[in-house]
């Protein structure tokens, strides 16, 4: 078993916090283990919990669409994970202590996958990974460096579904990701729209 599979087996059995008691499935993450881009969301919603896969509901559809326009997909370029691996009840935000308890799993995923670029989807990912006091509206669209990784914070897809006006700035953020990908990973990367 490789390191990622081994970690997945461990997380699947996790009972470190109360979220484990109500879950249908652990949502470990998915994508290419060789991905150079890692997208990090908040935590599973209803459909993710049912299916054990990240971003399979409405916001996942939008995420796949955005990635597609950038010329990226889950099987080749991107690995997708969340700050917490079990669904918070009623889709509430994960509590700070739930984030902290689950974080070592995400850190291990990052260490194993070694992506070049991290895309943080929304405030929970930003607060959970980088700084609990950081504001997504202030730092989105700017490159951060965290543990040597290039990090692009942007809005969560569900925020884009709630507020159409955020789509334009989010698109600008993803264009920066494509530019950085060409710079650092593949200068010939093709995308139809940017």
Among 31, 44, 71, 128, binds ligand URA (CB under 6 A): 44
CA distance 120 to 136: 9
- The structure tokens listed for 16 are 């470190």
Place of tokens 């607060």: 127
Give SS3 for 29: coil
Interaction between residue 43 and ligand URA (CB under 6 A): yes
Give the interface segment with ligand URA, choosing from 13-21, 47-55, 70-78, 177-185 (CB under 6 A): 47-55
Give the interface segment with ligand URA, choosing from 8-16, 41-49, 96-104, 176-184 (CB under 6 A): 41-49
Please give the size of the binding site for ligand URA, defined by CB under 6 A.
12
Interaction between residue 181 and ligand URA (CB under 6 A): no
Quote the distance between the C-alpha of residue 46 and its chain's center. Answer: 17
Interaction between residue 109 and ligand URA (CB under 6 A): no
Nearest to 38 by CA among 151, 143, 147, 135: 151
Contact 108, 102 (CB under 8 A): no
Interaction between residue 55 and ligand URA (CB under 6 A): yes
Give the interface segment with ligand URA, choosing from 16-24, 30-38, 43-51, 145-153 (CB under 6 A): 43-51
> What is the separation, in whole angstroms, between the first and last Cα of the chain?
39
Per CB under 6 A, residues contacting ligand URA are 27, 41-45, 48, 54-55, 59-60, 82
């Amino acid at each position: 078993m490789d390191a990622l599979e081994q970690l997945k087996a461990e997380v699947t059995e996790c009972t470190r916090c109360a979220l484990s008691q109500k879950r249908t499935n652990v949502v470990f993450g998915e994508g290419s283990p060789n991905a150079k881009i890692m997208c990090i969301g908040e935590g599973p919603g209803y459909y993710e919990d049912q299916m054990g896969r990240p971003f399979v509901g409405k916001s996942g559809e939008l995420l796949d669409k955005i990635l597609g326009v950038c010329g990226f997909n889950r099987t080749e370029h991107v690995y997708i994970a969340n700050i917490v691996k079990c669904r918070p009840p009623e889709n509430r935000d994960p509590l700070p202590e739930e984030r902290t308890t689950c974080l070592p799993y995400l850190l291990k995923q990052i260490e194993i996958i070694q992506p070049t670029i991290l895309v943080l989807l929304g405030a929970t990912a930003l607060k959970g990974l980088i700084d609990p006091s950081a504001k997504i509206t202030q730092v989105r669209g700017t490159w951060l460096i965290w543990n040597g990784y290039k990090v692009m914070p942007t809005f969560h897809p569900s925020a884009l579904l709630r507020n159409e006006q955020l789509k334009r700035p989010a698109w600008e953020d993803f264009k920066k990701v494509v530019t950085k990908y060409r710079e650092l990973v593949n200068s010939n990367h093709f995308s139809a729209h940017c």
